[in-house]
Structure 1
Amino acid sequence: MIKLHFKSKIKKSISIRKRILTVLLSSCLLSIILTSLIAFKAIYDTRELTLSIGNEIIFQAAENSQEALIQRAKLALEQTAFDKANELDENLGKVKKDVIILSNMMTNIASNPEEYHSRNIFEPSKNDIDKITAQLLFSSEVVDKSSPILRQEIGLTANIQDFLIQINTNSNVIISSYVASKNGFTIMVDRFAGRKFQNSDIKPDFYNATSRPWYIQAKKEDKTIFTDIVIDALGGGPCIICATPYYANGQFAGVVGMGTFLDNINEIILNTKIGDNGFGFVINKQGQIIASPHTTGDLITGINNIKDLRQSTNISLADAVQKIINEKAGLTEANIDGKDYYLAYAPMKNTDWYFVTAMEVDTVIAPAKETHENIINIATEYMDNLSEKTKMTVIGMIISISILLFFITYIGWSLADYLTKPIRQLSKGVQQIAMGNFNGKLNIHTGDEIESLAISFNAMTTELQTYIKNLEQITAEKERIATELNVATNIQKNMLPCIFPPYPDRKDFDIYAVMYPAKEVGGDFYDFYLLDENHLVITIADVSDKGIPAAMFMVITKTILKNFAMSMTSPDDFSAVVQCANRQLCENNEEMMFVTVFMGMLDLKTGKFIYVNAGHTPPMIRHKHKDDSTFEYLPVEKNCVLGINEEAQFKQQEVYLKQGDELFLYTDGVTEAINKEKKLYSIERLYSNLNKINQKSSCQDILRDVKLSIDEFAQGMYQSDDITMLAIKLNYLDLGDKHNGK
C-alpha cells in the first residue's frame, strides 16, 4: 500500500512539472516563434530582393555585351569592305594611270612627228610565242599595207613599243596593252603571241580593234573608261579593259587600252577571308556580278551569267542590291542561297563598281550569344549559391531555434536580433549595388553562411565588372588610334611653313601656300626659305602614295632637299641639289616609292629664277606686261621623278621675272578633283579660273579663289587626292628701295 501510494505521488509530481515546463516552454516557444517569424521574413525578403536585383543586373549586362559584340562585328565587316574596295580600286587605278600616261605619250607623238624617228615593228611571229614583244596587227579593212602614208604613221607610232613592253613586263595585273589607230592597225604587247595564229600557221589573224567594245565606248564617251566583262578577242577568256582616246593636233587619232583577265580580279575577291564562312564579291551600277567566288547559286558569275540582280526572284537580294547602288556605302541584310547574310558595301572611285563583303547572320550573332549565355551561366551559378547559402542560413536558424527553446524569451529575442543584423546589412549592401555602384562591396564578417553569401555576391559583381571593363577597353583603343592620327596630322601641319607673311620685313615679294591632305596625313608638301638676303628657294612635291607611308616619305624628301639646298656652294649649279637628293632617296628604297618635285631659286635682286622640274606638273606664270596678261605654263624639261633611278640626270632651266610677275605652283590633286558626275576639275578649268583672278590680288587671295572654285566644282564629293598650292609674286627688284614701299 505504501509503495503504490509513493508511485502515485511520483506520477502526480511529474505531471505538475510537465505542466509548469509546458507553460514555461510554451511561453518561450511563443516568443521564439514570433522572433523567428520576423527573422525568416527578413531572410526571405532579402533573398527575393537579391534575386530580383541580381537577375536584372545579369540580364542588362548580358544584353549590353551581346549588342556591343554584334556592333563590333558589323563595324569589322564594313571596314573589310572599305579595305578591299580600296585594294581593288588601287589596282584598277594603277591601270587607269598607266592608260592615261600612254594616251598622253601617243598624243604627243602624233601631234609632234618632227620630234620622233620612224621605227621598225613587225607582225607577230610564232617564234616569239614565249616572248613579250611589240606586234603589229592589221584590220581586215586595210587594203594596202604598204601604203607610204600608213607606213609613216606605223613607224611613228612604233616609238611607243618600249613603253608598252615595260608596262607588260613590270605589271602583274596588265596582261595586254595596245595602241589602236583609227586607220586600221594596232600595236599590241601581250604574253600570247601564239593565239594570233588561230586560223593560219603562216599569217596572223586580222584584229579589228575599231569594232571592239572598248574602242567604241572610249571613242564615244571621249574619256577614260573601264568596260564591264568582255570576251578577249584572241581567246584569252573573260577580261576587263581600261581604254582612252588619243589625239593628233586636237583631232581623234585612235584609242589606247590595257586589259586584265577576270582571274586577276577574282584573285583579290577569293582572298577575302571573313571569319569561317564570309566572302566578298563585286557588282556594278547595273546590278551585275563582276566577280564572285561562287560558281552556283544567287551570286554565280561569268560572261554567260550577266544579269541584273535587282530583277532577281530573290526579293531580299534584289532589294539589297538596289540599296547598295543607291546608298554607295553602308550595311544591309539579304538572303543568299537560303541563308541570311549581313552585307557591307563600299564604292570604288575608278569604276562604277561596289565591293561587298558578306557574313552569315548566325556567324555574327553566335559569339554574342555565346557571351550572353556565359554571363547568364556564371550569374545563375552565383544565384544558385545564393539560394543554397540562404537555405543553410535557414537551417542554422532552425537549429538555433531548437536550442533557444531552453532559454528565456529575452535570450530568444536577443538571439533573433543577433541573427537578423547581418542579414539587414546584406540587404542594404545589395540595394547599393542595385543602384549601379558596382565598385561597392558587401563588408560582412559574421564568420557564418551569411558572410559566405556576401563573398559569393561580391565575386559575381567582380565578374560583371570584368566584362564591362573589357568593352570599355575596346572603345578606348579606338579612341587612342583616332588621337594618334590627330597628333600625326598636327605634326605634319607644323612641319610646313604656316606663318604668313613669313618675312614681315620683306616687301619685295609676296608668298602664300596651302596643303589639304586627302586623309589625316598626306604625301604632298611645299617649302620655302631664304638662303641669304637675296635668294629665296621654293619647293612643291607630290609623293606617289597617300596616308602614313607617304607622309613619312614626304618628311624624308623635304629634309633631304632642304639640307642639300642649304649646303649648296654655287647657285648656278642648282640641278646638283636635286641630283644629290635623288641619289639619297634611291638608297634602300625597297618600297619603290617616288616623288614628283618642282624646285626653284629666285634671285630677289635680279629676278633670275633657276628651277628644276622632276616629273611634276608644270607651274603657271603670269607676266605683268599689261592689264590683260594671262597665266601660261612655265617651260619645263622632262626630267625623271625622284627615288627611282639614282643615275638620272636633271637639267636646270632659268627665266627672268620682272616686277609684278606671278608664279602659281600646284599638285595634281587640284586638276584631278572630281565631282558627283565623276568629271575631273581639269587643267583647262584651272587655267580659266586663274585668269579670272585680278592681277592686283594677293597670293593668299589667289589660292583662296582657286580652292573655292574646286569646292564649288566638287559639290561636296570626297577628296580623292592631296591638294597643295603655292603662289609667289615679285613686287619689285630694287632691294635698296624696299623700305620706301616701292
Structure 2
Amino acid sequence: MKKDKVQMKSIRAKMLTWFGATLGILMLVFGFITYSNIKGTVIPLTQDLSQEILKARSAEVGRLIQGYLNEVKVLVGSDLIRSGNLETIGQDLLKNAEEINPDFEMILFADTRGEYITNTGDRGNVADRDYWVSIMENGASHAISDTMISKATSQSVFALAHAVTNEQGERIGIVAATVTLTTLSQIVQSINIGHSGISWIVDSSGLQVAHPDPTLTMKLNFLKSSAAGYQGLEAIGEKIIQGEAGQGLYVRPNGERFIAIFNPIPNTPGWSFGIAMLHSEFMERPEKLISNIAWLMVAMLLAMLLVIALLSGKISAPVLLLKKGVAEASTGNLDHRLDIHTGDEIQELADAFNRMTGDLKEHITRLTETTAAKERIQSELKIATDIQASLLPRIFPAFPERPEFDIFAAMDPAKEVGGDFYDFFFINQTNLCFLIADVSDKGVPAALYMMVAKTLLKSEGQRLGEPDRILAAVNNILAEGNDSCMFATVFCAILNTENGEVRFANAGHNPPLLIDAQGIHYLAMKSGFVLGPMEDTVYETERLVMQPGDTLFLYTDGVTEAANLENELYGEAQLLNSLKQKQGEPLASILQLIRAEVMKHANGAAQSDDVTMVAITYRGRPEA
C-alpha cells in the first residue's frame, strides 16, 4: 500500500510536468502573438484618437475666429458705415465702444486711402497692412491677417477685416477688428489634454503666437527652434507651414521628450493649433495596457498550473457551491446563505461570505438612508441659496431711467450660502442709499443673520434717511438678545443725485476706494464699531462730493484677504494697482476683472470667504 501511494505521487508529478510544460509553451506562444497584435493596434489607435480630438479643438478655434469675422461683417452692413464719412463713423464707433465684443482690442474703419479711425478715437494709416491691400487692391471680400504690432496700442494683435461698399456697390473702405494675442492665449489655455498637455497656436511663418506661457508667445519660431536648444521641432514646423495635420516627437532644451499633435485651423491664413504632451504620459496608457496583459498572461499560466496541482474532487463540490452563492449575491440577492460543512478553509470562506452579505445588506440600508438625508440637505441648501440670491438686487442697470449715476454689484459666496450682502434703494427722489456688509461666520447662521440685517437696514434707511441714524437704530435692534455675539461690518452711504454729495457712516468695514480726477486712493474715514455686539453705539456721518465721472468702489475682506496655496493674501495694494489698470472701463467689466484676478491669485486654493463688490459712478445731472 505504501508503494502504491508513492507510485501515485510519481504519476501525479509526471502529469503535472507534462501538462504544465505543454500549457506553458502554449501560453507563451499565445501571449507573444497577443502582445504583438495589441502593440500594433492600441498605439496607432491612441494616436488617431488624439488627432481626432485635436481636429475637433481646431474646428472650435476656427469657428470662434469665423464668429469674430461674422461680427465684423454685421458692422459692414450698417448704413452709417456705408456712408464712408470718416468723422461720423468715428463718432459712432466711439459712442458705442462699450457694446463691442470684449475679445476685440478695437474696431476701426479705414477709407480708400488707408486713413483710419478707431472706437477709441485713435487715427492713422493702414495702407501698408496686408489685410487692407488684400481687400482694397487685390479685391478680396474679407481678410484675416497674421500677427502684427498694433499701430494704435503697440500690442501684438491679428486683424479680421471686411470690405465696405456704398449703395452703388463701390468699394469705399474696410471695417476691421483687432484681437490681442492675449485673448488667443486665454483660449488655448482653456484647452488641455492630460496633465502635462499644453496648447499653442502657430502662424503661417512658424511663429508661436499663442501659448499659456506669455514668455513663449511671439518668441519661439519653430523653423528656427534649434538655435534655442530644441531638437526635432523644426521638422514639425515644416509640416505646419505646409498646412499638414500630423504628429511629431521633439526634445526640449531641458531634455524632456514631448510629442506634438497639430492640425490646421479653419478660417485662418495658414495657422495651426497644436497640443504638446510629455511622451511618457502619451504612451503611459498603451504601455500600461500591454504590461497588464503580459502580467495577466503570466498570472493565468500560474493559476492554471496551480489548478492542475490542487485539483481534487473532494473540494470541487463545495467550491462549486461557493461559486453559485457568489453568483446569487451578485444578482442582488443578499439574503442567500451558503450551507457548507467541510471542516476546512472552504467552510470558513462560506461563513465569511455569509457574514459579508449580511454586513453588506446592512451597509446598503444605512447608505441609502444617509444618501437620502444628504440629498434632502443639499436640496434645502439649494433653496436657501436661491432665496438669499433673490434678496439681493441682481438686475442691471438697476435704474435705467436715472442717468445721474451708474451702479453695479456682485457677490460670490464661499459656501452654498454666505454672510456678505449689499443693497441700494432710493430714500426719496434725489437720495440713493447704497451699502455693503460682511456678517461674521459663514454658512447658514451667517445667511440668517444677513437676511435680518439687510431687512432692518432697508426699513430703517427709508425711515430715518441719514447714515449715522440708520446704523445706530439697526445696531440697537441687532444687539437685543444677541447671545451668540454675532456681528456685521457695514459701510452705509447716501448719494444726493442732484449735486453729487455723499453722506456716509462706517461700522467697522473696509475703507472704499475713490476714483477721481486725481487718481485712485483709499477713502480716509473713521472706522466705527461693528453692528450687533453692543447697544447704544454712536456712529458719525462724514461727507464727500463726487464730481461727474468719479467712482466709489466698495468691497468686503473676501477680496483683499483671498489667499493662495502659499497663504499669501491678495492685499489692498494689489487691489489698488488692479483698479488703476482697469480705470475707465465699464463697472461690470471692472468687477468681473477684479474677480478674475482674485481667482488667478488664489491659484486653485479653496475660497475661504465671500467675495462681494459694489461700484457706483456719479454722472451728474443731464443737461436740459
Normalising by structure 2, what TM-score?
Answer: 0.42
Larger-gyration structure (1/2): 1
Normalized per residue, the structure richer in helix is 1
TM score, norm. by length of structure 1? 0.36
- Higher RCO structure (Cα 8 Å, ≥6 apart): 1
